[in-house]
Amino acid sequence: MNTLFTPYMVVLIVAAAVATYLTRVGGYVLVKRLKTMPPRLEAALNAVPAAVLTTLVAPAFFAGSIDIKIAMVAALLVGLRFSAIPMLIAGWVVVMVLRQILV
């Protein structure tokens, strides 16, 4: 590898970093501008994690192949009783087994 960094890529990375950091302080700046928290805003903020994270899960499920779908359902069932690591292991085992069978 002769070149470590190309100027274009460094510009892209720095721009991406600045954009990301702005989103990470943005909510704090907004909340500080408001003196009191209206109940509906509080309800909205309360819904943020489930709403946002769902948008990372649902499209992956619908766009995924049948083995991904089955593995995600299996992981969901495991996740109703157990924590993240058993979920990941269950989903991974199911998808690997299915790929052996389906191929």
Binding site for other proteins (CB under 8 A): 1, 3-6, 8-17, 19-21, 23-28, 30-32, 39-41, 43-64, 67-68, 71-72, 75-76, 79-80, 83-85, 87-88, 91-92, 95-96, 99
What's the min distance (Å) between Cβ of 35 and other proteins?
13
What's the min distance (Å) between Cβ of 27 and other proteins?
3
Q: HSE, CB side, 13 Å, CA atoms: give it for residue 88.
A: 3
Rounded Cα–Cα distance for residues 93 and 63 (Å) = 20
Strand, coil or helix: what is 85? helix
Residue type at position 3: T
Rounded Cα–Cα distance for residues 97 and 103 (Å) = 10
What's the min distance (Å) between Cβ of 73 and other proteins?
10
Q: Do 75 and 90 form a contact (C-beta atoms < 8 A)?
A: yes
What's the min distance (Å) between Cβ of 16 and other proteins?
5
